[in-house]
Chain A
Amino acid sequence: MAKAAILSYIKRDSFVHELTGTTKLIFFILWSVASMITYDTRVLVCMLFMSVVIFKISKIKIKDISVVLGLAAIFLIMNNLFVYLFSPEYGVGLYGSRTVVLTIAGPYTITLQQLFYHLNMTMKVICVVPVALLFIACTDPSEFAASLANIGVSYRIGYSVSLALRYIPDVQREYHNISQAQQARGIDLSGKDKLFTRMKNSVAILLPLVLSSLNRIETISNAMELRGFGKNKKRTWYRLRRMTGKDWFVVVFVAAVLVIDLLVTFWDGSRYYNPFL
């Protein structure tokens, strides 16, 4: 059966893969904070450059994650579009000057300031996306729960993430089987029928799928309890890896990035770098 996974662990041999899950999680969090806080173009350009370098190091190919990248791009375009529609003069207010490039209609003019604001906003997102995707694509799912617990998240939450990962392939296979059997009973799910009929028909697959998933949940929760899950406040992890020199280096690096980011951004008392002065 063809694999339908949109985004999952991709096993490669790279520096990013060698880092522990905890390191990657910390990196991801601090990196996101850093890019969220700043609107300083100089900082963003540097971070964008680093993002691309990290992506290269990870040996993950663009085509491995093309679907998600596509979705992210669509989201980004929509975001830009709506920001412009609702406040086309936001950049003007921010940067305190107004240089009109083009007048469209009514209140909608394109100003240099607004364009610059959009550029910064886009860069912020582009800084984070590769790092977020790498965190998922380069972290062994087995380490997911352990690394979440390691930074203080309750292991129950971490484990539910892990269980979901465990069951996604099973449920996909089951969906496939059920849908074939239902098609044999004349329930068509291909494009031939009307949308409403198709929606009604997909219920014929979802009901058995939900019921059998409920059964699964009962079995797994029994199995987990019988083996002592939830007994203690803490638990240890078979697949947790210890932080090595490399990991500390990366953590210190990302912390430094955040500090420099804060310093540069707030040096002149504003989050925005203003080239229009």
Chain B
Amino acid sequence: MGNHSDGSPNHSGTVATAGQNEVEKFQDPGLPPHRLRLADTDPVAAKRAERQVAILFGTSVIGTLVFLVAYFAIDLGDDTTIATIRTQNLLLGLGTAFAMLGIGTGIVHWAKALMPDHEVSEERHAIRTEEDRQAAVRIVDDIVEETGIKRRPLIRNTLLGAVALAPLPALAIFGDLGPRPDKALAHTMWAPEGGKLKRLTRDPDGTPIKASDVTIGSAFHVIPEGLNELHEGKLNEKAKAVVLLMRLDPNSLNPSEGRESWSYNGIVAYSKICTHVGCPVALYEQQTHHLLCPCHQSTFDLTQECKVIFGPASRPLPQLPIAVDAEGYLVATSDFREPVGPSYWERDEHERLINS
């Protein structure tokens, strides 16, 4: 693009650093001359623009009618199908869209084509004048003087003290928003009740699971026995107690010391609540024996006691110790040996409590 014939040194460079402000600048030529539009000079064009605006407003009327027809003519009786609702939604939406866009585009077109488009210049005024400032200072001084607050420090100090304390009840009154956490997060429904071990049952119907039903490679979503019969706090209990049950080749499990008896014949049960922020770890990759949380992709390896092998979780999924009862059903031999779900400040304390 350039022309090298000039041969002169670099012209396009900048002026060096400082002193630039002293260099003469281009003068502001002022507002450019106004250009007339076609509709300003040609009455035919103006008439055409007028018609266009009227047509747009007319479109709006049609849109309103479409809405009303769609609202009253389409009946949502007891036997409505999704298709009817979709049709009505589409027509109501299109009606509204045309009603609004007709008015909107009509007005804007009117403004742009027919209203004067002279740009005008207006002076800005000082946001604050010195005169106002001085007057304000005098007023404030007078006010302070009249209250006498400077001369009477006792009044000022007691007022400050009173005002500082007054919001405390406003804070305290929110104290009953919730109960104290206490040890609620340390326990789940899996704890044996009255010496009776809880059976592992299917989510959501609550039927117990026989060990012989769990074939190698299969996985079950599990809830504790009795959960569905709860009347209060069912979801609270479910949010802590859900478990994934899987059966692997027993040789691929590598139980650590003390956990050898927590599985049965290659069947293992792990908490389904992610130790990251609590999503259900719902994806089981049968081939790799990985559990994946669909929310933030934490990945746990079943063959390493659900150790974190990828993603944002930092702790393995808690394991539920299981066995088989006399009738061949899977049962939990105890509650989880650590709190389930996301970490919290008192978690370590609770874990020590459970194991003590």
Same complex origin of A and B: no
Q: Which residues in B have some Cβ–Cβ distance to A below 8 Å?
A: none
Q: Which residues in A have some Cβ–Cβ distance to B below 8 Å?
A: none
